[in-house]
Structure 1
Amino acid sequence: MKILIVDDSKATLEIVRRALESFGYRKLSIKKTPCATQALELVATWQPEIVLTDWYMPEMTGLDLIAKVKKSAPNVKLGMITTVDEQSQVDLALSAGAQFVLSKPFEDEQLHRALLPLVQGAEEDELLIEPEADVQPELALPKLSQLAKLLTKVIGGEVGIHTIQLQQFDESKLPCLMAVYEDAETQRLKAIALLDLYAICVFSQGNKTVTQADIHTAIHNKVVSKRLLDSCHKVLEQSSIAFLDSNSRKSLRLKSVNFITKPFEKLKHLYEKDPATRLDFSCQIPDTAQGKVTLIGF
């Protein structure tokens, strides 16, 4: 997630930067500039997903910057952080293309609430149009539509499931949860699920005793509590009925769940598997970051 902050106040640039880093957005990269002209150059070369701008700046107003960004990079999400608080001016900024206007001074949580729809919108740009991936029919991998219904039931709330582009291994994949599924009779390996940290947090919502503090600690410290792991294990176990062996017509059994913190060759190779043997999808519940899951069939 690339976010560009534009403000002629160095203090504001630093305040917003620290706030963004505290939110735990996926693979966050931040650049900041006090110059609107330089901001336009960064939009062209660095290609941020989100631009946060002040209103009053020496070279160019925030309204002018928004207009230029919308013209040159229409997919960029735009927000305004400013001392302006009159409703008529706020409406002017919104009509110009800002998706939110946050008045200074502000609390971190106010920025997070305002920014979250933009983050989710940027994440949705990664989604594929196809509702189902085309995998080998003999594999025991579930249909995503069926899995979405099952997860909604097991987790106890609406879960958005969408096909995404094939994931490659990088540092954002760790830590992760590796779930191994087997044929209950032959004990043969049939499927593996790889859940990134955000997907672990989504799946753990099935346990109502999991708190936002648990989620916050997991994302920021990359340490998952036993309560989160147990909850995630339960959801994976209950949703294993969606993995149906084409020969025996029986569901697979969850064999093991392991929390992985360090890379190893076999893990990297799993992300290199043929597209016809895997499903890559996002999972998300309201007001959370998007989790990513890769299912591999054998």
Structure 2
Amino acid sequence: MQPHPDQLAALVAIVEHGTFDAAARHLHVTPSAVSQRIRALESAAGRVLVQRTTPCRPTEAGQTLLRLARQTRLLYDEARDALGDSRDDSGGVPLDLAVAVSADSLATWFRPVMSDVATWSGTTLRLHVEDQAHTAALLRRGDVLAAVTSEPTPVQGCVVEPLGVLRYRPVAAPDFAERWRVGRGHDWARMPVVVFNEKDDLQHDLLAGRVGRGGPPPVVHRVPTSDDFREAVRRGLGWGMLPDPQALPDLAEGRVVSLLTRGHVDVRLFWQRWRLDSLALGTLTDVVRAAAREGLRRPPASP
């Protein structure tokens, strides 16, 4: 099959805007025209591509074509940009760069990437915040063109490269640590803990090594933003794993103390991106590499 660009654009618009009507408004066509394009695309593919739910969602086959659609859009946008057509500083169609990144990375070493992209004319950066263990799923669905991930195996159609290591340390407010002290250690089985969300296993993995797989402590607080998670730990709500860019300044200032003298967890991060000959994607990759060199630890040498 050879999908028409208008059909692919309709598929992207439906998924990104949720309904056929909203997609029609975005594309400046009638809802009937959007329906006809999707029916023609589904007829050519021989299967349903869009679940007519609220919001609309792509089927598994639709996700495959969605990746193609977004890749096609990126290359068309770059071609228009190179020809000086349809996009300038005063308006027009921006070049769309969708990237998945974890909240901790976004709050720390990734921030210089935003500073750099801010200088790019006519470019939209769309960040999808997701745990680094789950960002690869967004690549598989075609939701993003690149991702900071802890998954070293490339998604089909992608290339992967190591970025570095983000080190986490178990810390707590000084008063909190003293309150839960038992001898020369702490009461890990009962000490309240702060987690980011239901996908955050850093604290539970550390606990498993201290008290076994007996389940979480009685009190588990959930604070789902990186800066507020850090503040919750500093205010004594519970102990938590803070990344070094946040933990080290707080340790130096006495805002928190380390609960383990040598305890830390190193999370290896990778950059996965579509395998496309795209100038914008290549430039973004260079910027991410530079930020990682400055903000992440070097990965250990292979034996």
TM-score range, shorter chain: under 0.3
TM-score by length of 1: 0.25
TM-score by length of 2: 0.25
Greater CA radius of gyration, 1 or 2? 2
